Amino acid sequence: MHKGFVEVPDELSDPLLFSRVNGRLGDHPIVNGDQTGTAVRCVMTYTGQSLDGPAAATVLLRLPGTAVEGVPEGDSLVERPAGQAQGLAFELGKGRVVVLGEGAMVTAQVNRRVPYGMNTPDNDNRQFVLNAMHWLSRKL
């Protein structure tokens, strides 16, 4: 975990869009779902930090190479290259692990009457979370 705030230069970064169209969704059962219409087409994150994982990890939410991360140092933010992802999944021993670098994406919040997180229109964050829980519990 890079402990900062991810942005993609020249792109709206709050929310940051991960979609099949922009190539930022990984190839994994959490993203692909099962054969009953549970595929994820679009996930939105709300700043958050970037991640790097073990070599065997599958990137679920891929950051572009241009992504940067503002990391707090004292009273300021220092800009650094971001890690490769905001979401990873991997097997560890007999278990499974999902790591997300952003928490608001898995909540349903309202700020000044504007919904964000899982209740933001036009995203599949709720399905992403359901698929992650199903994958972790070996139902997917």
Q: Sorting pLDDT into bands at 50, 70 and 90, what band is 63?
A: very high
Residue 30's nearest CA partner among 133, 103, 137 is: 133
Encoding tokens for residue 15?
Answer: 């929310």
CA distance linking residue 84 with residue 136, whole number of Å: 22
**Residue-wise over 104-130: b if at least 16 C-beta within 10 A, else e?**
bbeeeeeeeeeebbbebeebbbbbbbb
Residue 33's nearest CA partner among 126, 128, 120 is: 128
Per-residue pLDDT tens for 2-33? 999 999 999 988 899 999 999 999 999 999 99
Residue 111 clears pLDDT 90, i.e. is over it: no
Q: How much of the chain is in helix, strand and coil states, percent to nearest 5?
A: 15, 35, 50
44 — phi, psi (to 5°)?
-120, 135
Query: In one letter, which amino acid is 61?
Result: L
CA distance linking residue 18 with residue 35, whole number of Å: 21
What pLDDT does residue 114 have?
87
Residue 128 clears pLDDT 90, i.e. is over it: yes
Asked if residues 83 and 63 have their Cβ atoms less than 8 Å apart, the reply is yes
